[in-house]
């Protein structure tokens, strides 16, 4: 297993619409395991393949504290939605930002598992929100798209600034390392 790099807003690759998964082979298994490891390490409760720059319709989720209830949804479709829930969401591709988003409260989903077996299941509460959030990624959509243009622009600037500061610290650290032999 290996950790994959998570793309961050406003990376244009996050805007790619994912293609259906057609091959349920060893490579898919590796991708799923890598995504779970990357999500747990982040740490996060959901990750779409889009976020690791693989544009296939695949999401992984685990809301358990013990990281022992992985949910893998391949080619997920929402068959029906009920109710409305407003939840504070965050995203591994928009680090450190949390805001309220309105979603359906309950959803019925059809998806395939890692072996290609189709199943249908109802989800509510956090899982329902998380699945809708991750499925948005597969369409190239981010939760910040539901916020105002002004808010989104502020978030973009804040993340840009933090990335620049991080890069400056890395340069300083490697300069230090070069002297320390
Ligand atoms: Ni996300």
pLDDT for 173 equals 80
pLDDT for 177 equals 67
What's the 3-state SS for the chain?
A: CCCCCCCCCCCHHHHCCCECCCCCCHHHHHHHHHHHHHHHHCCCCEEEHHHHCCCECEEEECCCCCCCCCEEEEEEEEEEEECCEEEEECCCCCCCCCEEEEECCEEEEEEECCCCCEEEEEEEHHHHHHHHHHHHHHCCCCHHHHCCHHHHHHHHHHHHHHHHHHHHHHHHHHHHHHHCC
Rounded mean pLDDT for each run of 10 residues along the chain, 181 residues in total: 95 98 98 98 97 98 96 98 97 97 98 98 97 98 97 97 92 74 72
Ligand 1 centroid – CA 99 distance (Å): 12
134 is catalytic: yes
pLDDT for 1 equals 79
Ligand 1 centroid – CA 55 distance (Å): 14
Q: Which residues of 92-101 are buried (b: 16+ CB within 10 A; e: fewer)?
A: bbbeebebeb
pLDDT for 181 equals 72
| Residue 50: CA count within 13 A, CB half-sphere | 30
88 bridge partner residues? 100
The single residue of 37, 134, 153, 165 carrying the catalytic annotation is: 134
Ligand 1 centroid – CA 108 distance (Å): 20
Separation CA 76–CA 115 (nearest Å): 14
Please give the model's pTM, rounded to 2 decimal places.
Answer: 0.93
Ligand 1 centroid – CA 132 distance (Å): 10
pLDDT for 96 equals 94
Task: Give the residue among 126, 135, 116 at the shortest CA–CA distance from 89.
Answer: 126
């Amino acid at each position: 297993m290996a950790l994959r790099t998570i793309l961050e807003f406003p990376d244009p690759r996050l805007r790619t619409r994912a293609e259906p998964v057609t091959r349920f082979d060893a490579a898919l298994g590796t991708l799923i395991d890598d995504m779970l490891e990357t999500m747990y390490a982040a740490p996060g409760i959901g990750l779409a393949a889009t976020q690791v720059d693989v544009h296939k319709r695949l999401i992984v989720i685990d809301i358990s504290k013990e990281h022992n209830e992985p949910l893998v949804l391949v080619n997920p479709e929402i068959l029906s939605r009920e109710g409305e829930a407003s939840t504070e969401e965050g995203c591994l591709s928009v680090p450190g930002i949390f805001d309220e988003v309105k979603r359906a409260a309950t959803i019925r989903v059809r998806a395939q598992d890692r072996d290609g077996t189709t199943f249908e299941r109802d989800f509510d509460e956090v899982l329902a929100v998380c699945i809708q959030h991750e499925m948005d990624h597969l369409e190239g959509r981010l939760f910040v798209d539901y916020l105002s243009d002004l808010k989104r622009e502020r978030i973009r600037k804040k993340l840009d600034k933090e990335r620049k500061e991080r890069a400056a610290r890395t340069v300083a650290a490697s300069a230090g390392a070069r002297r320390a032999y």
